[in-house]
């Protein structure tokens, strides 16, 4: 267990991984450690390639998707590479283990008309929670930021003179996202309402009715309730609004590299999945417009 904790500390302090990523690594390693103990009665640093493969096969039999199993493989590879680095083991038992190919799902997104209905037609309560809940949706849709990034926004992250917001993304990587005029106006109105009706000492922008920092589950629930009013999409999460931001930007002519920077993706391959949505949009227009389609 001490090796696992040392590894998690390494991810946090040196690699600067996010809390959620570290939590996923911890969960995978604890499951693996428990499997080794119950099946082979050995500690994690004494595993070999066959034992490691056995666990992965066991995870597949449980019904885990290829994507989930690949994440577990990544966890093990990183962990054992770390153990070799610090001299705990001499051979990495995952060197010959490869991830399986996965098909990238086309991201779901909210249609433009439905987003306009949310922002222009839905009546939110004329109180603090109403202003805040609508602003949450506006920020997601106008910036494409992640849930973890939204709840950590601070008031001084906004540069009104430049019309941008500073976002702290994965691995503490900063990026700046332009603010639309509508979002700037909504932010101004919210801050006036916030100062007038709440006595808040901390610097976080979005807070609960009691003035405390938002938690992820609350934001997820709020977004889900709002999207339920306009869409029948299976998933109605904050991440759907991130997909919506990227898809609408691409459909309106934004360069893929620009979207990559705005989303905070490390590589262009992660952003390219949105081109599938754009192609589907082109197909719809083609089939609707061409006389022989």
Catalytic residue ranges: 146, 170, 239, 242, 265, 274
Q: What's the N-to-C CA distance of the chain in angstroms?
A: 62
- Non-local (6+) Cβ contacts of 151 within 8 A are 204, 206, 213, 214, 215, 216, 219
Residue 175: which of 254, 262, 245, 271 has the closest Cα? 262
For 177, the 3-state DSSP assignment is strand
pLDDT in tens, the chain (293 residues): 589 999 999 999 888 888 888 999 999 999 999 999 999 999 998 999 999 999 999 998 898 888 899 999 999 999 999 999 999 999 999 998 988 766 667 788 999 999 999 999 998 988 889 999 999 999 999 999 999 999 999 999 998 889 999 999 887 889 999 999 999 999 998 988 888 877 666 789 999 988 889 999 999 999 999 999 999 888 899 999 999 999 999 888 889 999 999 999 988 888 888 877 666 666 676 677 767 66
Interior angle at CA 272, CA 76 and CA 163, nearest 5? 105
pTM over 0.75: no
Q: Are 58 and 34 in contact (CB under 8 A)?
A: no
Domains contained in the chain, CATH given: 2-85 (1.10.150), 112-289 (1.10.443.10)
């Amino acid at each position: 267990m001490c090796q696992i904790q040392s590894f998690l500390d390494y991810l946090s302090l040196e690699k600067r991984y996010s809390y959620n990523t570290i939590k996923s690594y911890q969960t995978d390693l604890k499951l693996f450690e428990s499997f080794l103990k119950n099946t082979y009665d050995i500690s994690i640093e004494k595993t070999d390639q066959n034992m490691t493969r056995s666990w992965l096969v066991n995870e597949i039999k449980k019904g885990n998707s290829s994507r989930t199993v690949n994440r577990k493989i990544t966890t093990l590879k990183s962990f054992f590479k770390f153990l070799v680095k610090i001299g705990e083991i001499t051979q990495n038992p995952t060197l010959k283990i490869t991830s399986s190919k996965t098909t990238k799902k086309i991201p779901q997104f909210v249609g433009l008309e439905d987003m306009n209905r949310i922002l222009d037609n839905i009546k939110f309560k004329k109180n603090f929670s109403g202003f805040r809940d609508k602003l949450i949706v506006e920020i997601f849709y106008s910036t494409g930021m992640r849930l973890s990034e939204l709840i950590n926004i601070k008031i001084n992250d906004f540069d009104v003179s430049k019309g941008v917001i500073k976002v702290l993304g994965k691995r503490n990587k900063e990026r700046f996202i332009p603010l639309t005029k509508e979002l700037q106006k909504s932010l101004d109105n919210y801050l006036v309402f916030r100062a007038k009706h709440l006595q808040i000492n901390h610097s976080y922008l979005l807070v609960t009715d009691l003035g405390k920092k938002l938690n992820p589950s609350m934001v997820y629930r709020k977004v889900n309730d709002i999207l339920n009013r306009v869409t029948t999409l299976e998933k109605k999460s904050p991440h759907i609004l991130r997909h919506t931001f990227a898809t609408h930007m691409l459909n309106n002519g934004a360069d893929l590299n620009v979207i990559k920077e705005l989303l905070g993706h490390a590589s262009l391959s992660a952003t390219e999945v949105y081109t599938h949505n754009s192609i589907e949009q082109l197909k719809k227009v083609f089939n609707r417009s061409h006389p022989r389609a």
